Amino acid sequence: MKAHRVLLIWSLFFWGIQSASSASGELAIIVNNTNDIQEISVEDVASIFLGKSRQLPDGTKVVPLDQLEGSGLKQEFYAKVVRKTLPQLNSYWSRLIFTGRGQPPFAVSGNS
């Protein structure tokens, strides 16, 4: 099976966090339209955004994208999904960068 490169653009999670989470406690995750994944666990999303996993459970490679520092959505996303505050997240990535074990998701501006 050919693995499709997928962009998990968390800035697009805005819709999921703002509408689905407030209404039903669910999070809508938007992926590249060439990917046919139907569901993914919050734990898998957290693992991807913490650099612990570079692929979906089916083996599809992913590239997470993050919002710039100072975004309220970024703070809400990491609090709800990764269960870390932004200072905790910065400390986590500082350790991984210093030891050469990882790099944080690339940050992009905007919500789309």
User: By three-state DSSP, how is residue 72 classified?
Assistant: helix
26 pLDDT band, cuts 50/70/90, is low
Residue 86 buriedness (CB in 10 A; 0-12 / 13-18 / 19+): middle
pTM, two decimal places:
0.74
Q: Quote the pLDDT of residue 25.
A: 56
User: pLDDT band for position 29 (50/70/90)?
Assistant: low
Q: What mean pLDDT do residues 56-64 have?
A: 87
**pLDDT confidence of residue 37:** 79
Give dist(CA 47, CA 27) in Å, integer: 16
CA distances from 78 to 7, 46, 100 (A): 18, 8, 22
